[in-house]
Structure 1
């Protein structure tokens, strides 16, 4: 996952050199594969606005655009994209510009029509992987300013998160980890969700697969482009801007790790029911594809049909569009195994399923809902309901884990002061509940991977520093045996035969079922590589 250093710095003080952050995390077992610079400081690429568009007279797939570059003179640009409309602001590469991919821009004729530059996509500017169309900029972007002012340079960490550390798949989570490793204090934490709860409007028929579900109505939203700060945040880590509602949902997921989903409330029929799918039930997803569901697939449904594949993807029929006025905001906890199975069966991975599969923090569900609601109110002008509908119960925290200082020293191989052990585990958000010789530690809701005493010892070593544990020689002399002599003889014979030009062929020791030597005493492979075995 990619992390913005500037975004992380909003939660915790960081070392000045991003390479130090990468080294700190890698030494603690959170491998940082790369540190890269994102931004668009490219000469002769500016913000422009499309003022007119017409079909190219000699090419069906091209259009001729008139753009305002802020100079007072309109420019004519031949464009091959189709995802724009008149009035959109887009990046314009002027003649003389050199793009990150090496393309040099100059005046040219395309199918007999002069083009005075090029309108750019995100991938052409090195701002993402999206090459499907033009990079549509925020309406707030000023015409004529360099594109580098819209996308300033910033450092991005590419971090490899192991499957057991789903708590790190968000900026707050990684900042919390850095704070524990450096001893720094978090600048802020997600606020508690203080809102009235009602137990109507939502039903859970599959309580095992969905222990907890919440839905909050927000009326009178104005769907449109996101403000520049929001676009810049999500685009810096590779998420394409869609509209303000979808962008807020993605922002909260990247910030706090809890996926949320917004339904067009006016397209829902009756209350919400989280249930298992009916065999062969059809579902049109947001990717435009229709999926045939199985009875073990969990869905979010209204009173008529499935409106979302739980933890994976919403439905196109109830998705948010420019005409949406009222939304229903979902935030839930789904069983990781259920989401993993559904995503694999349907071959439908998503950013949401990636997090649910690894286990989201149950304690963050309502906080993320509240955070998204606040942003929707501020950005779209929506009016949130005073109550949130919920069903089920938030899963309880993991069981306490006992640990003795003596075992910690024995496993690590050196004596670590009890006070140091306590400070390290407290830094990782654990709470000491017993001061006896055998300590008991309360595990936070976001660390469900901590189940045994050796898991706590691992946390101690990660923060203490494995480089501080001296190495010891454990090898010892063993006299050679008859087996060693036999192995040496075979190796010597092989070398001599190869030297004379021979080749060794090793055939399979397995035999086909049809072989004459096959008998009832033979053992059949449960998962053979071929029919011959």
Structure 2
């Protein structure tokens, strides 16, 4: 979020302990240390001097150039002849006027010049030439009431900085000037200049007809009719500049006002053209495939999980995301329906991304907007519309489902717990002061405090949240540096279990290297390796080649072997331990598994060893060596068997005898089936083993 430093200082005046104003750099440091990282600070405009507000009193065609104008420009005391090539220059226009001797950004000095034989005594400026923006398609036009001759920097309040803050998702309350000012006020123990918002008395009786058919998704919706507005009125310069410095361009006065309230209070709002609404407003879920053309001209087919603001005939807007083109304010609009609502974060989260959208409104609603803010924003927007566009307001109509509105978090904070986690004992008075200034209701108890979080703090839920707030406001740099102490008993090492470290060392000693593959695999390879088990599909896969959960480790392991073979590694031996995921009714069995694969020559290349490829019996020897390490080799046997992914003549089922002499399958060993070579991308035989990890980790306890 970007914000104007001057605007922030209208809300709060942070001062140092010595009474001096906190500098821009100090302010940025404070905000960053409070967890709201400052990404950058930039000047509102470039460095320039000698520029005043000028007025074009006369404009004529240049005698020797079709695209140049010969203008007479007044600075309030005298008139200067200026040659100008801007297409929008005209009599009566007020513009920034750089007089002779002025210095523009880039150390560009204005001197007397002669253009096509005519002398020019100064320069009329575009926004880009003053470093205000990149706009360079014409002169910067100033309001008709701009005082001619006044210093342009002073008139525009350009001695300002734009501070960009990168907020974490839990701090949606700071996505507004009110929220940032509240935070800066708490950090500096400075009082806020509260924005006085009075209720606007209705001048007409016209009421908006509102039905909320999706109360869980939209627990609160407010609407107000304003008739007879003038949408061609000019947005005041102060509002245009605050919007620009907040990263929003001016469009028309009504849209500018709703955007201004968004930046000022943090409440997204929308204005409908009342003439385009049939019947009344219905807040409902979209019908699958329903079409809506958005304000940006994009037509979307709506999903059934999307909240829409509709009338009795059609959808008008995507709730909490973007308005529709048809019902938006246009130059022909005379009557408005102004809306302010609260949408549940879960109803908005991810919906905009489903349509390839990201809007200021969705950015806030999916993080959480104060559910008590809509009424305040409605009155503020109405008052601004009446001041700028005129009109007659009707009464505010509100539909609320109180049972679906969020509840303010009630948390018990223990004094001893705060001291333990912070490593420092804060005075009770400081703790109460910090929490109170953060807007929380604090009640002292015997062992601490009962705290009720304000409605705008969606991130307050449990005791550690409050302790984090104490650390933030007290100052992370003021907390002591201590080595944490904790009871750390030695882990038990049962004799009847082979430690994982020993198992890995055994595999490495046999020439294998440990691999770690994804738990998500290619559905085609998984089906080929284990057709008996249907894998679980991911809802949001990384790619189509990683879209299902593995039901065995062999699918990922053979892909890793193939990857190495394609990169000139002729001898590959890999092993992996991990979970495989087997559907079991409505549950998911997660089975610890050991798998290994070998391909290429039996021994590493050398003069002393004959060239021979690894075969079934070599890898069977590796399995027996591992089982011998547990002292339970006599409990196992290898039985000729079948496996859909393995060669029918080179496959054995590994079985283990229990205490009663009953044999149970614990694994399989075999060569990859030749029909799968193309599927996995290999041209040579791979010997594969898969074992139940828990079974092979059981060791024999020595007897005396």
| TM-score category, normalised to shorter length | 0.7 to 0.9
TM-score, structure 2 as length reference: 0.62
Partner of 1:69: 73
CA pair 264-67 structure 1, distance change in 2 beyond 3 A: farther
Q: Work out which of the residue numbers 228, 233, 238 in structure 2 matches 1:220.
A: 228
2:10 paired residue number: 10
Residue 142 of structure 2 corresponds to which residue in structure 1? 137
1:423 aligned partner: 433
Q: How many residues align?
A: 509
Deviations 1:203-243 (A, max 9, x none): 11222221111111112222211222222322233322223
Q: Given the alignment of the two structures, is residue 308 of structure 1 paired with residue 314 of structure 2, yes or no? A: no
Match of 2:287 in 1: 278
Question: Aligned ranges for residues 487-506 of structure 1 at < 5 Å?
Answer: none
Displacement after TM superposition at 1:133 (Å): 6.5
User: Which residue does 2:246 correspond to in 1?
Assistant: 237
Please say which structure displays the higher CA radius of gyration.
2
The CA deviation at 1:344 is 0.8
What is the correspondence of 1:204-215 to structure 2 with a 5 Å cutoff?
Answer: 204-215=212-223
Matched, 1:457 2:457: no
Of 78, 87, 92, 2:85 maps to 78
Matched, 1:367 2:371: no
CA distances 1:27-68 after superposition (whole Å, capped 9, x unpaired): 221222333332455346554567899999xx9xx9666656
Alignment-derived partner of residue 156 in structure 1: 162
Cα distance in 1 for partners of 2:148, 2:472 equals 50
Q: Which runs of structure 2 are paired with 1:116-127 in the superposition (5 Å)?
A: 121-127=126-132
CA contact (8 A) 1:40 1:148 kept: no
User: Which structure 1 residue ranges, 5 or more long, are not aligned?
Assistant: 491-504
Whole-Å separation in 1 of the counterparts to 2:363 and 2:141: 27
Give distance in 2, aligned partners of 1:297 and 1:393.
Answer: 19
- Secondary structure of 1:218's partner? strand
Alpha-carbon distance change, 174 to 42 in structure 1, aligned in 2, over 3 angstroms: same
Which of the numbers 175, 184, 195 marks the counterpart of 1:178? 184
The verdict on how the C-alpha distance between 1:428 and 1:296 changes in structure 2, with shifts beyond 3 A counting, is same
Alpha carbons of 1:72 and 1:249: their partners in 2 closer, same or farther (altered >3 Å)? same
Q: Secondary structure at the match of 1:207?
A: coil
Aligned: 1:256 with 2:265: yes
1:103-118 to structure 2, matched below 5 A, reads none
* Structure 2, unaligned runs of 5 or more: 16-20, 491-499, 546-558, 561-704
**How big is the shift at 1:405?**
0.7
Q: Deviations over 1:94-114 (max 9, x none)?
A: 78866536778886979x999
Give the 3-state SS of the residue equivalent to 2:211 in structure 1: strand
Relative contact order, CA 8 A, sep 6+: which one is greater? 1
Q: 1:297 aligns with which of 282, 300, 306?
A: 306
Contact 1:41–1:147 (CA<8 Å) still a contact in 2? no
The answer to whether the Cα contact below 8 Å between 1:69 and 1:144 also exists between their aligned partners in 2 is no
Deviation of 1:518 after TM superposition, in Å, equals 3.6
Over the aligned positions, Cα root-mean-square deviation in angstroms equals 4.3
Contact kept? 2:68, 2:83, Cα under 8 Å: yes
CA distance in 2, matches of 1:162, 1:521: 45
The match for 2:352 is 343
For the residues of structure 1 that align with 2:251 and 2:478, how far apart are their CA atoms? 48
The CA distance in 2 between the partners of 1:216 and 1:326, in whole Å, is 11
CA contact (8 A) 1:45 1:94 kept: yes
TM-score of the aligned structures, taking structure 1 as reference length: 0.80
* CA 1:429–1:88: 2 relative to 1, 3 Å: same
Following the alignment from structure 2 to structure 1, what is the Cα–Cα distance between the partners of residues 453 and 119? 66
| 1:203 is aligned to 2:211 | yes
Aligned-pair distance for 1:463? 1.2
Could you say what secondary structure the match of 2:377 adopts? Answer: helix
CA 1:305–1:521 in structure 2 vs 1: closer, same or farther (change >3 Å)?
Answer: closer
Correspondence for 2:171:
165
- Which residue is 2:639 aligned to? none
More off after superposition, 298-307 vs 328-337: 298-307
Question: Partners of 2:326 and 2:81 in 1: how far apart?
Answer: 41
Q: Deviations over 1:272-309 (max 9, x none)?
A: 11222233333222223333322222222222322222
Contact 1:200 1:390 (C-alpha < 8 Å) held by counterparts: no
Deviations 1:404-450 (A, max 9, x none): 11111111122222222112111111112452425321111011110
CA distance in 2, matches of 1:63, 1:341: 51
- Contact persistence 2:286–2:302 (CA under 8 A): yes
Could you say what secondary structure the match of 1:415 adopts? coil
Deviation at 1:339, TM superposition (A): 2.8
Tell me how far apart the structure 2 counterparts of residues 306 and 47 of structure 1 sit (CA, whole Å).
Answer: 47
Partner residue of 1:410 out of 383, 403, 420: 420
In structure 1, the partner of 2:607 is: none
- Deviation string 1:344-374 (CA, Å, 9 cap, x unpaired) is 1222222222222221111111101101111
Q: Which residue of 2 aligns with 1:493?
A: none
Query: Is the strand fraction higher in 1 or 2?
Result: 2
Partner of 1:324 in structure 2?
Answer: 333
Aligned position for 2:398 = 390
Matching residue within 456, 467, 476 for 1:466: 476
Say which is worse superposed, 393-402 or 511-520, in terms of deviation. Answer: 511-520
Residues of 1 paired with 2:90 and 2:162: CA distance?
32
Q: Secondary structure at the residue paired with 1:10? A: helix
- Kindly state the Cα deviation for residue 128 of structure 1 after the two structures are TM-superposed: 3.7
Cα distance in 2 between the residues matched to 1:193 and 1:211: 22
CA deviation vs aligned residue, 1:457-507 (integer Å, no higher than 9, x gap): 001111112222221235999x9xx979x99xx9xxxxxxxxxxxxxx999
